[in-house]
C-alpha cells in the first residue's frame, strides 16, 4: 500500500467515525424526523410503483372536502391507485390510500366486520358498508362519496346527530308492565314471536336506509325507516306491556310517522342486513288502523 493510499484510507475512516459520532449525538427529535422522512420516501416510492402498474391496481375516485382548510373547502374528487388483491374491500382500499398516499383522507370505521355500521358510504351510486363491499364486485373506477342527504363534516364523514335523535325518539328499549316475581327468572318469549321480530333486531344504526329515503330527504321530521323498524321490533315483542305497545303505536300513527312512507322500497334495497324495512312499516300501518277501529 502506498503512502497516498494509506492517507486516503485514514481520512475515510475518520469520516466514518465522525458520521457515527453525529448519529450518536443526534437528538430524539432529529431521529424522529429522519424516520418520518424515510417513511415518506417509502410511501412516495410505493405510490410511484402503483402508478406504473395500474393494470394491477384498483382505481379509487374519492370525494374530498375539508371546511377547515381554505384550499380544500371546494368539494373535489381525488384519484388513488391501490394494489389489488383477493378479498379486497372498499374499506381496505380506503385505509391503504390513507396510510400510503394521503394521511388526511378521513373515513369512519371501527369493527370492519359489518357489525358497527360506522362506515356506511355512497359507493358507485348506492348506499353500502365499505367493509362489506368487495372491490371485485364493482365497476372501475370505484367512486366513493359520503352518504347523501347528510351534512358532510369532512371527506366521507357525515353528521349523524339527527339520525340518532330520530332513533331515540321511538324509545328503542324494552319496557314491560310486569316483571317475574323471582329476580333471577327471565321473561320468556315464544319461538314464534322471536321469529316474527328476529330480522328487525339486526339493525346496526348505519343510516344507509335513511340516506336512501326520498321522503326523509324532504321532510326533516319524518322518523325514517330505521327508527320505525326499531319501534316495530319492540311493539311486536309479546313481552312488552299493552300500555307501552299502545304508546308506541301512537308515536307511529302521526303525520311524520308511518303514514309518510310511500312504499318506494329504497330503504329495503340498500339495507346491509337485509331487513324488510318496508314490510315492517306497512305492518305498523295495519296495527295503527286496527287500533283506531271501533265496533258498535
CB 142 within 8 A of CB 96: no
Cell triple for residue 250? 301512537
Contacts of 61 (CB under 8 A, 6+ apart): 77, 78, 79, 141, 142, 143, 144
Mean pLDDT of 234-248: 91
CATH number of 45-157: 3.10.20.30
Average pLDDT, the chain: 88
Task: Give the right CATH number for 161-292 from 1.10.540.10, 1.10.1060.10, 3.40.50.970, 3.20.20.70.
Answer: 1.10.1060.10
How many CA within 13 A on the CB side of residue 88? Answer: 20
What is the pLDDT, as a whole number, of residue 25?
Answer: 57
> Where are the chain's structural domains?
45-157, 161-292
Give residue-wise pLDDT tens across range 117-148: 999 999 999 999 999 999 999 999 999 999 99
pLDDT band per the 50, 70, 90 thresholds, residue 47: low
Q: What is the pLDDT of residues 52-96, one digit of tens each?
A: 555 589 999 999 999 999 989 999 999 999 999 999 999 999 999
SS3 helix, strand, coil % of the chain, rounded to 5?
A: 50, 10, 40
- E runs forming strands in 114-190: 120-123, 126-129, 142-145, 152-154, 157-158
pLDDT number for residue 148: 96
User: Which SS3 state, helix, strand or coil, does residue 134 take?
Assistant: strand
Residue among 281, 288, 285, 280 at smallest CA distance from 197 = 280
pLDDT for residue 4 is more than 60: no
Q: Please give the backbone phi and psi of residue 205, each rounded to the nearest 5 degrees, phi first.
A: 60, 40
Amino acid at each position: 500500500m502506498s503512502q497516498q493510499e494509506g492517507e486516503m484510507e485514514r481520512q475515510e475512516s475518520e469520516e466514518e467515525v465522525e458520521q457515527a459520532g453525529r448519529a450518536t449525538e443526534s437528538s430524539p427529535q432529529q431521529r424522529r424526523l429522519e424516520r418520518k422522512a424515510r417513511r415518506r420516501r417509502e410511501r412516495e416510492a410505493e405510490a410511484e410503483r402503483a402508478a406504473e402498474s395500474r393494470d394491477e391496481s384498483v382505481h379509487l375516485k374519492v370525494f374530498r372536502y375539508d371546511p377547515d382548510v381554505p384550499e380544500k373547502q371546494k368539494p373535489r374528487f381525488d384519484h388513488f391507485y391501490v394494489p389489488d388483491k383477493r378479498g379486497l374491500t372498499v374499506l381496505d382500499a380506503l385505509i391503504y390510500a390513507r396510510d400510503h398516499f394521503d394521511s388526511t383522507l378521513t373515513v369512519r370505521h371501527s369493527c370492519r366486520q359489518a357489525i358497527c355500521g360506522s362506515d356506511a358510504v355512497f359507493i358507485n351510486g348506492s348506499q353500502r358498508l365499505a367493509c362489506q363491499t368487495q372491490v371485485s364486485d364493482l365497476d372501475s373506477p370505484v367512486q366513493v362519496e359520503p352518504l347523501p342527504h347528510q351534512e358532510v363534516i369532512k371527506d366521507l364523514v357525515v353528521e349523524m346527530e339527527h339520525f340518532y335523535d330520530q332513533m331515540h325518539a321511538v324509545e328503542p328499549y324494552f319496557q314491560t308492565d310486569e316483571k317475574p316475581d323471582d329476580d333471577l327468572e327471565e321473561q320468556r318469549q315464544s319461538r314464534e314471536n322471536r321469529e316474527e321480530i328476529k330480522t328487525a333486531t339486526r339493525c346496526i344504526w348505519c343510516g344507509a336506509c335513511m340516506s336512501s329515503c326520498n321522503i326523509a330527504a324532504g321532510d326533516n321530521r319524518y322518523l325514517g325507516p330505521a327508527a320505525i323498524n326499531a319501534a316495530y321490533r319492540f311493539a311486536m315483542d309479546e313481552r312488552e306491556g299493552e300500555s307501552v305497545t299502545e304508546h308506541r303505536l301512537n308515536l307511529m300513527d302521526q303525520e311524520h310517522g308511518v303514514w309518510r312512507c310511500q312504499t318506494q322500497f329504497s330503504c329495503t334495497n340498500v339495507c346491509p342486513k337485509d331487513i324488510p324495512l318496508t314490510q315492517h312499516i306497512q305492518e305498523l300501518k295495519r296495527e295503527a288502523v286496527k287500533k283506531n277501529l271501533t265496533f258498535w
